[in-house]
Amino acid sequence: MRWILGFLMWALPVAGLAEMGSLLGGGAFGQGRTPLFQSREASGKGASLFAGNVEGGLLAPYPVRIRAVQPPSVMIEPASTAVHRIRNIIGQAESPRAGYDAVQHGAKIKPRKRPTDMTVGEIYDWIAATPGQPHAIGRYQFIPDTLRRVVNKVGAKRSDRFTSGLQDRLADVLLAEAGFPDFVAGDLGQQKFMNNLAAIWAGLPTSSGQSKYRGIAGNRATMTLAYFRSEVAKIHPS
């Protein structure tokens, strides 16, 4: 009897280990089953529940999301008084008489229609058909390369009319590139902003009082530096 009791006391722990082995997939009752806490190496898969597996782990970190950055042109509020003022300053320098229907005076072959009655495609065709002459057009005197770039920037089509509204939208792209939003916010100095504008529009004077493109294709500043400065100061006095 003592021998039997001794055998049972010895056998019970071994049986318990066997049961635990079956739970983990290695015991007699675990044959052909998937272990409850099977390791990644044993399963051959990467979807372990709590493993540090970025793709399959339940506690894996969320993927990084990058916030889209808007293009500079959308930073300008088209209806703001400041925008109207700066557009008017540029218009005074570039097209004081014809405004939105202005065509560079050096163009010997003018378009057959007023610019505001033309489509973007018709303007492109006029440029292509009249090489060797200036092609600055509209209130803001867009030259061909700049015109194509800003048209693409705003998503305009060849079939769109070159209206005053479209011309303003195209000019706003250039204003944003010159730092207009930063200037209005007080983060860009007045003279720096004025020089940025003068680098885009030849009719505006730089801090030297002259056009940045003086003598090139007949360009010159069409307003004084004092007047330019006084008008810009009305938008944001620096």
Amino acid in the structure at residue 143: I
Give per-residue burial for 128-161: e unless 16+ CB within 10 Å, then b. Answer: eeeeeebbbbbbbbbeeebbeebbebeebeeeee
Q: How confident is the model over 48-89, as pLDDT tens digits?
A: 333 333 333 333 343 333 333 334 444 566 557 899 999 999
| Identity of residue 195 | N
Dig out the tokens for 16 from the structure: 């318990």
Residue 23 pLDDT: 34
- Other CB atoms within a 10 A radius of the CB of residue 103 amount to 20
Flag whether the pTM goes above 0.75: no
Average pLDDT, the chain: 77
Please, which contacts does 104-110 make with residues 24 or more away whose CB atoms are closer than 8 Å? 104/134, 104/135, 104/136, 104/137, 104/141, 106/133, 106/134, 106/217, 106/218, 107/133, 107/134, 107/135, 107/136, 108/133, 109/133
Domains delineated in the chain? 2-30 (no CATH), 34-65 (no CATH), 76-233 (1.10.530)
Per-residue pLDDT band for 237 (boundaries 50, 70, 90) equals confident
At 4 the pLDDT is: 46
On the question of pLDDT at 147 being above 70, the answer is yes
89-105 per-position pLDDT tens digit: 999 999 999 999 999 98
Q: With 50 as the cut, is the pLDDT of residue 167 above it?
A: yes
